[in-house]
Amino acid sequence: MRPITALTFDLDDTFWDNAPVMARTETGHYDWLHERVGHAEHFPLEEYQRRRLAFAARHPVRRGDFTWVRRETLREMLVEFGLEAADAAHWAEAAIERMLALRHEIEVFEEVPAMLDALGQRYRLGAITNGNVDLTRLAIGRHFPVIINAGESLAPKPDARPFLAALARLGPVPPSQGLHVGDSWREDVLPARRLGMRVAWIDKDDERPASLPEGVYRLGHIRELPALLDGLEG
């Protein structure tokens, strides 16, 4: 088996618990907008969420660009609410800026910074995310010379292209020498294995399957990654 020379990482639910982040973000930016334009009595949060899904379905090519989907859904809704087009665009953009500020109020798992310091001395590190976190806005971003925002690039995981792009920019590194770390079976494990990468699957729901495919390794938490790598290299 060829040695591992590069690691790629998912972000949400890999380096931090994303559920509380998204809960604060979702209600926070919508309440902020309502305080300024008073729209939520006519369009409650659930309607905004429903319209986002419908908007994404109408625009399948850009469905993975979550920031754009949110902005355009808000803009259309505010026009329907009665704002002039320019005002609707202004307030939609302002709400998205508020959303992104809240989205980056993240508590990285305490073990992660020191772990990345150590791993960066042994491997080339890259990040691949479907989300709209700008990793350069976080302190851990300095560890990643390669960051692929797959949704904004119109090729969200499980598409193979963000994995291939990361490996190319990290070396190039052949897939057989890369290991991907992520929590989603569909978006992380399956596409990475199809390419021939090894995968450290973060079993955040504690499913503990009886067996795993060859080349897939279960982690209960990201803190277990260094021990897995030591074992693979031993």
The domain ranges of the chain are 6-16+107-233, 19-103
Residue 198 and residue 4 in contact, taking contact as beta carbons nearer than 8 Å: yes
Residue type, 205: D
Residue 100 burial (C-beta neighbours within 10 Å; 0-12, 13-18, 19+) = middle
| pTM, rounded to two decimals | 0.95
Q: Is 6-16+107-233 in CATH node 3.40.50.1000?
A: yes
Cα 140 to Cα 116: distance, rounded to the nearest angstrom: 8
User: SS3 of 148, please?
Assistant: strand
Q: What is the pLDDT along the chain (234 residues), one digit of tens a residue?
A: 789 999 999 999 999 999 999 999 999 999 999 999 999 999 999 999 999 999 999 999 999 999 999 999 999 999 999 999 999 999 999 999 999 999 999 999 999 999 999 999 999 999 999 999 999 999 999 999 999 999 888 899 999 999 999 999 999 999 999 999 999 999 999 999 999 999 999 999 999 999 999 999 999 999 999 999 999 987
Instruction: Order across the sheet with 6-9: list the strands.
Output: 146-149, 124-129, 6-9, 178-182, 198-202, 216-219
Q: What is the pLDDT of residue 29?
A: 98
Task: Write out the CATH class of domain 19-103.
Answer: mainly alpha
